[in-house]
A and B are shown apart, each in its own frame.
Chain A
Amino acid sequence: MATTKEITIGDVNARASELETELQGETMALNVGPSHPTTHGVLRLMMELDGDVVKKCEPVLGYLHRGDEKIAENMTYNQFVPYTDRLDYLAPLANNVAYAMAVEKLAALEVPERCQSIRVLCCELARISSHLLGVGVYGMDAGAWTVFMFTFTEREKLYTLFEELTGARFTTSYTRIGGVARDIPEGWLGRVLEFCKGVLPVLDQVDKLLTRNRIFMDRTVGVGAISKEDAIAYGITGPNLRACGVDLDLRKDKPYLGYEKYDFDVPIGTNGDCYDRYLMRAEEIRQSVRIVRQCIDQFPEGAYYAEDAKKIFAPNKAKVLTSMEELIQNFMIVTEGPQVPAGEVYFEAENPKGALGFFVVSKGGGVPYRLKIRGPSFCNLSILDKLIPGHYLTDITVILGSLDFVMGECDR
């Protein structure tokens, strides 16, 4: 026997709008970090979620604050070099160079060509190592583990080269004011060329794995797009700025260390999204390899430090032990620091993460009166509270990975 039953569902639209307000009132607070694999260090995000969509995002910094600027005011210029390793600890060589260049600019000191070439090599190899990690970890963030394994193997080879050059794999402390700590080891340039030969096929492989990968593209294209105007207004620098279509590379536009001698291209993005930021880094590795090759091709002979800067660069150890004048000179530089005239100077170098700047105020003598460090990651992250709202929670991983920041230089 069939029965029929009548039910009323009432006004569907009214019910829906009733539910809507009920649902909207329910947001969830979510805390990510400071110790979380997504945040690549100790960044902390306090977010407000509506379902899966982030409504509000507040970055909390300072978990790695060590007071580097205060420390700098209390020691000589050379003593501070090891502290610069700990700014962007994924490219310590580039930080060493930027810091030495800033102080040398204040002392109006020009380092010899060989020293400049060594430093260019340092900067570019640091860029390659930083970007290799950046791309690898980014791939991992988006779910592509293999890329990370490939790039990390290459980075390991680079660290062996760094160890040979500086004595340390990670905390290189390689530059001194007026030069570098020691000359390049014998046969090292050949080994760098060999590395360059090996890294390009790996990049091709990464290219094949990521660039047209459907999953990777779905997760990154159009996600986390920053407009040109916003990028400039928020002071974003480096590959993150260039991904937005702004043609600004200090190596080209404010050449230092003789970068104008090298022939290289600056990749520029169009959309400023996560995908473009990946493309920038991948291409910059290739361009850095080009610079490294040209640099080694025309590697100059000569001194690796400014020989005429008697009050700035400590003399050769062999001479210190045999000659009175050099002994005194060495003693003065070690105890009182490199003698730098009074003045104010600001120098920025194009580091892997962006423009790393040092503002040095000196009243003369061997200790800076004030040293301000402008960490590119600090500025790059300042856009987060504007960039992240409106994205899905899962996009946060990709956005943070694509910005490629380091908390060491953000918190200083």
Chain B
Amino acid sequence: MAESDLAQLTERFDFLTERASSDHLALNCPADKLIELCSALRDDFGYDMLIDVTAVDWDVQSPRFTGIYHFLSTTKHEYIRIAADCTDDINPALPSLTGLYPAANWHERETYDLMGITYEGHPDLRRILMWDSYPYHPLRKDFPLAGIETPLPADDVAEVTGASVLPAPMMGGPFTSSGDGPMSQTEPRAKDESWTEKKEKPVK
């Protein structure tokens, strides 16, 4: 089933290229053709359920952000993965699928919140998991695991207590180890070693 879909899709849309995948049918699609492709997927190919919307940050690579969509056909019981690279690395943007699939609404808000991708045409693009005034996009690779100090979302509390949202203490964990080098360097060690049980937390 998936093979015939692949043949039909690549024949009808010449901008599609096959994407390396370990499981389901996967296709690369340019960001500006996404709406056209997805409406065909929904109406003509039976992929009627948008299962998941997410994005991957490739860090130093360009294009840096890739939007990933998973669709499921409730009749054929097949999955398809569509990947769309964001052309702009600084202000990544993709067209919103909310008009085609209402399910995209919250998924896109989440991806915007955590990865910082703007979904053009989204009716209500606000943060969903972090609070509205939060300044960062935590799932980006350049965001530290411990977090960054930010003002407390409750202004009145912050005014009285002077409290702010602090980075998490990373004493001891999580452990990572590099794959190569001498034994002394490949031993697992804490990722953030700016402070430990023995070394005081640096004062800014």
Contact = CB atoms under 8 A, between A and B. Distances in A.
Interface of A: 61-62, 65, 67, 69-71, 74-75, 79, 105-106, 108, 230, 232-235, 246, 248, 253-254, 335-336, 341, 343-348, 355, 357, 359, 361, 365, 367, 369-370, 372, 374, 378-379, 382-383, 386, 411-412
A357 B129 contact: no
B103 interface: yes
Given A346-B24, A365-B179, 5 more contacts: A335-B188, A346-B79, A359-B54, A367-B176, A372-B52
Contact residue range for chain B?
35 or more
Interface in B22-74: 22-24, 26, 48-52, 54, 56-57, 68, 70, 74
Given A234-B103, A335-B188, A344-B22, A253 B138 contact: no
B174 A411 contact: no
Given A62-B131, A69-B114, A372-B54, A343 B22 contact: yes
B6 interface: no
A222 to B, nearest CB: 23
Contacts of B145: 70-71, 74
A343 B21 contact: yes
A336 B177 contact: yes
Nearest to A382: B106
B56 A357 contact: no
Contacts of A75: 174-176
Contact of B130 (A65, A106, A379): A65
B18 interface: no
Nearest to A248: B74
B177 A335 contact: yes
A367 B21 CA distance: 18
A338 to B, nearest CB: 14
Contacts of A235: 49-51, 101, 103
Nearest to B23: A345
Contact of A357 (B52, B175, B176, B188): B52
A142 B106 CA distance: 29
Contact of B138 (A61, A67, A355): A67
13 contacts: A62-B130, A65-B129, A70-B138, A235-B51, A335-B187, A344-B19, A344-B23, A344-B26, A346-B81, A355-B51, A372-B68, A382-B105, A386-B102
Interface string B85-112: 0000000000000000111011100100
B122 interface: no
Contacts of B106: 378-379, 382
Interface of B: 19-24, 26, 48-52, 54, 56-57, 68, 70, 74, 77, 79, 81, 101-103, 105-107, 110, 114, 127-131, 138-139, 143, 145, 174-177, 179, 186-188, 191
A248 B131 CA distance: 35
Nearest to B77: A253
A365 to B, nearest CB: 6
Contacts of B102: 230, 233-234, 382-383, 386
Nearest to A233: B102
**Dominant secondary structure at the A interface:** mixed
A108 B110 CA distance: 30
Contacts of A379: 103, 106-107
Given A105-B22, A233-B101, A344-B20, A374 B52 contact: yes
Contacts of A336: 177, 179
B89 to A, nearest CB: 17
A346 B70 CA distance: 8
Contacts of A79: 174
Contacts of A412: 129
Nearest to B173: A75
A84 to B, nearest CB: 16
B194 to A, nearest CB: 15
Contacts of B175: 75, 335
A397 to B, nearest CB: 23
Nearest to B79: A346
Contacts of B23: 105, 344-347
A71 B147 CA distance: 11
Nearest to A341: B22
A233 B42 CA distance: 10
Contact of A374 (B21, B51, B127): B51
A346 B77 contact: no
A233 B103 contact: yes
Contacts of B187: 335
Contacts of B176: 74-75, 367
Contacts of B130: 62, 65
Contacts of B50: 235
Contacts of B52: 346, 357, 359, 372, 374
